Amino acid sequence: MFFKYTHFNYYLSIIYDYFEEIKYSKILSDLTIKAYYYDLNNLINYLENNNINSIKRINEKVIIAYIRLLENNYKATTIIRKIVTIKMFFKYLSDKFKLTNPFLKIDFKLRKEN
């Protein structure tokens, strides 16, 4: 597993189940799966660093702040992949656990690259 020890250990089994599901239900390469793991791990690290210790506390403001941070560090294509990864994960959480999906209220407009 690619995740370090975090406050989200309770959710790591959910993340693991999510990846098991997409690994077998979608035609994705091993590299894509690894990138998705990496993307979610980065999100978890961001949340920990900002003392957001529950997935239930993640709202559209948190997601927008995270995306703004990504914009300062990655190219647009990488940001889009990271957003897609996180968006799919929250759709899964919303469907499986009836959690509020913060992406439902967000309209993305990435800043242009220089």
Global pTM reads 0.80
Domain-wise residue ranges, the chain: 9-105
Contact 100, 108 (CB under 8 A): no
Q: What does the alpha-carbon distance between residue 80 and residue 83 come to, in Å, rounded to a whole number?
A: 5
**Tens of pLDDT, residues 57-94:** 889 999 999 999 999 999 999 999 999 999 999 999 89
Flag whether pLDDT at 53 surpasses 50.
yes
CATH superfamily of 9-105: Tyrosine recombinase, N-terminal domain (1.10.150.130)
